[in-house]
Amino acid sequence: MRGQLAPYMFLSPTLILVTLFFFIPLVMVFILSFTKLDMTNFGILEWWKPVNWSLDNYVKIFTNRFLSRILGNTIMYVAVTLALFNVGMALVIALITTHIKRRTGFAFRTLWFLPRITPVVVYTMMWRALAGPAPMGLINKYFLVPLGIGGGEYLLHTHPWVFIFLVNGFIGASFGMILFASAIESIPKDYTIASKVDGATTWQTIRYVELPMIKWPLLFVTTYQTLSLLTSFEQIMLLTDGGPGLYQTEVWSLTAYHRALTSYFGNTQWGYGAAWSVVLVIIGIVMAVIYLRVFKFGELVEEPKIDQL
C-alpha cells in the first residue's frame, strides 16, 4: 500500500460510485439530447446510432419564445433565495443562536431544522394552508386581515414568487445555519473574550472577530447552495408547478423535468428533456468554476506535507 497505487485504493469506492451514477448517466443524457427519443418511439428508435443524432433539440430550446422568461426566473430564484435565506437568514440564525442562552439557541435551531426533515409533500401542503384565502389561510387570518392588508385572497395565486422564495428558503437556511453555527462555536473562546475585554460591543465582536473567522464556510455554503438551488425543483413542482400564469414560476430544472417526464400531449420527450438538462449541467459547471476561481479554493488544496517524510 506504500506505493504509487495507495491513493487510488483510497479513492476507488468514490471513483466507482461516481462512474456508475454520474459519468455513465451523463454520457447517456448527452447522447439522448441529440435524439428525438420519446415514449412513442421507445424501443424503435435506435438512439445510440449517430445517424439519428441532430442538433434539433438545441435549436428548439434556443428558439423557444419562453426561453428568456425561464432563464430570468431561474436567475431570480437562485439569487434571491440564496441571498435572503440560504446565506443571509442562515447567518442571522447562526449568529443569534450562538449569542443567546444555549438552550434557547438549540430550540430555535431545532425549529429551523423542521422544514428540512418534514416530508416535502406535507411541507408544501402546510405552506398552502399558510397561504390560503381567508378565513382558512393562516397568514390571512392571523396577520393580514387583523392588520387590514389585502382582501383575503389566495396568496399563492396573487404572490407566487414570494412563496417560492419562502418555501425553498426555509429549507435552505438550515444547511448554512448548521455549518455557520458549528464554525462560530469552533472559534477559540480566547478571541471573543479578548475582544470583550477590549470593550468591543457584541456587534463589533461579530463584525471584526467572528465573521472573518468563518470566511471559508461562508464561501463554501454560497457555492454549494448556488448549485443546489440551480438543480432543485421538487418544491416548486409541488407548490405551483410553474404556474399560476403561463411559465410564471417555471425554472430551468423544472422545464427539464416537465419535458422529460410529463407532457400535456401524453408522450414524454426524453431527448428534448435531456437537452434542457445538458444546458443546465453546463450552466452549473460554469458557475462552479467561476466560484472556485473567485473564492480562491485553490488555497485549500495546498500540497499535503505528509508525503515529504
* Choice from 142, 149, 193, 262 touching another protein (CB under 8 A): 142
Give me the DSSP letters along 35-98.
Answer: S---TTTTTTS-TTSGGG--SHHHHHHHT-TTHHHHHHHHHHHHHHHIIIIIIIIHHHHHHHHT
Q: Any contact of residue 265 with another protein (CB under 8 A)?
A: no
* Choice from 59, 194, 294, 300 touching another protein (CB under 8 A): 300
Q: Any contact of residue 243 with another protein (CB under 8 A)?
A: no
User: Minimum distance between the CB of residue 55 and another protein, rounded to whole angstroms?
Assistant: 19
* Choice from 86, 217, 240, 272 touching another protein (CB under 8 A): 217
User: Minimum distance between the CB of residue 44 and another protein, rounded to whole angstroms?
Assistant: 17
- In angstroms, the CA 206 to CA 188 distance is 14
Task: Classify the phi-psi angles of 43: left when phi > 0, otherwise alpha if psi is within -120 to 50, otherwise beta.
Answer: left
Task: Please say whether the beta carbons of 289 and 72 come within 8 A.
Answer: no
Q: Any contact of residue 133 with another protein (CB under 8 A)?
A: no
User: Minimum distance between the CB of residue 118 and another protein, rounded to whole angstroms?
Assistant: 5
Q: Quick one: cell of 247?
A: 411559465
Q: Any contact of residue 138 with another protein (CB under 8 A)?
A: yes
* Choice from 45, 67, 83, 126 touching another protein (CB under 8 A): 126
* Choice from 58, 154, 161, 220 touching another protein (CB under 8 A): 220
Letter string b/e over residues 148-179, b meaning 16 or more CB atoms within 10 A of that residue's CB? eeeebbbbbeeebeebbbbbbbbbbbbbbbbb
Q: Any contact of residue 270 with another protein (CB under 8 A)?
A: yes
Select the span of 5-13, 73-81, 149-157, 241-249 touching another protein (CB under 8 A): 5-13
User: Minimum distance between the CB of residue 100 and another protein, rounded to whole angstroms?
Assistant: 9
Q: Any contact of residue 147 with another protein (CB under 8 A)?
A: no
Which of 252, 259, 257 shows the shortest CA–CA distance to 230?
Answer: 252
User: Minimum distance between the CB of residue 227 and another protein, rounded to whole angstroms?
Assistant: 5
* Choice from 51, 197, 246, 309 touching another protein (CB under 8 A): 309
Map residue 141 onto helix, strand or coil.
helix
Residues 59-118 contacting another protein, CB under 8 A: 89, 92-93, 95-96, 106, 108-118
- In angstroms, the CA 18 to CA 25 distance is 10
Q: Quick one: cell of 288?
A: 462552479
User: Minimum distance between the CB of residue 27 and another protein, rounded to whole angstroms?
Assistant: 8
Q: Any contact of residue 290 with another protein (CB under 8 A)?
A: no
Q: Any contact of residue 292 with another protein (CB under 8 A)?
A: yes
Q: Quick one: cell of 196?
A: 470583550
Q: How many residues bind another protein (CB under 8 A)?
A: 107
Q: Quick one: cell of 195?
A: 475582544
Backbone angles phi, psi at 186, to 5 degrees: -85, -5
User: Taking CB under 8 A as the rule, which mask of x and - marks residues 20-49 in contact with another protein?
Assistant: xxx-xxx-xx--x-----------------
Task: Please say whether the beta carbons of 239 and 124 come within 8 A.
Answer: yes
Query: For residue 38, what are the contacts with CB-CB under 8 A and spacing of at least 6?
Result: 267, 268, 269, 270, 271, 272
* Choice from 129, 149, 194, 290 touching another protein (CB under 8 A): 129
* Choice from 40, 201, 262, 267 touching another protein (CB under 8 A): 201
